[in-house]
Amino acid sequence: MTFDRSVKIAPSILSADFANFGAECEAIEAQGADWVHVDVMDGHFVPNITFGPATCAAIRPHIRGVMDVHLMIAPVDPYITAFADAGADVITAHVEASTHIHRTLQAIRATGAKAGVALNPGTPAEAVSELLDLTDLVCVMTVNPGFGGQKFIASQIDKVRKLRAMIGDRPIHIEIDGGVDPQTAPLVTRAGADVLVAGSAVFRGGSVSDPTPYGENIRAIREAASGVWT
Ligand code: DX5
Ligand code: ZN
């Protein structure tokens, strides 16, 4: 993975057809997705359950680009190797889910994967201030994690701005997860975000047999996010 701060759209397969992940991943990449965002939930850290490393390994051959695995699980550490072996390029753990998040990030990097750290809406930007040298991506949750289709929490925009200033020249992505659509995308890219996760706003209106809406939705978010502003 090379680093740059261009806007990247990362569709979340939480909004895909769960009986058809392989074809869905191929469809969104063919329609212009930059990364594929994979939401792992355990019914303990978050009030919903999705899937684990075996599913990630099964969909890996259907993703040509970056497989971005967002772990909403506690504990995290016992499962890091399994997700790395499943082929994750980025593994993101929540600062709220790990007693020793510093050690967790070291363990992720030790596998060769990029290390991401996610912040719930109630967690301040300062929670990552001692972690930046161990981090490749900070994920700012703009909804409370657990479900797709929730409303964007606008108070997080200021957190993005703070994080962008804290990061400075370090090669660290700022990812936004939750409620991203063409209306909210420019608010966060303007504040310094570069990776935009979007579930419902990408998958709405399309399907594997009719994937054209995926492309239209991705382009609409990208164009809004990359708009000219002063
Ligand atoms: C929420 C997940 C998100 C979710 C985003 O816990 O981490 O990735 O799928 O879905 P939308 O874009 O519908 O808010
Ligand atoms: Zn996510």
The continuous run of DSSP H or E covering 191 comes out as: helix 185-191
What pLDDT score was predicted for residue 229? 55
pTM, two decimal places: 0.98
Q: Which of 36, 70, 144, 147 for a ligand 1 pocket mutation test, highest count of atoms within 8 Å of Cβ?
A: 147
Closest atom of ligand 1 relative to the 146 alpha carbon = 6
pLDDT score at 29: 98
Q: Which pLDDT value is given to residue 227? A: 80
pLDDT < 50: residue spans in the chain: 230
Is 39 a known active-site residue?
yes
Judged on CB neighbours under 10 Å (0-12, 13-18, 19+), 64 is exposed
Question: Following CA atoms 141, 20, 36, 222 in sequence, which dihedral angle do they give, to the nearest 10 degrees?
Answer: -80
Amino acid 230: pLDDT: 41
Question: 162, 108, 136, 143: which is closest to 12 by C-alpha?
Answer: 143
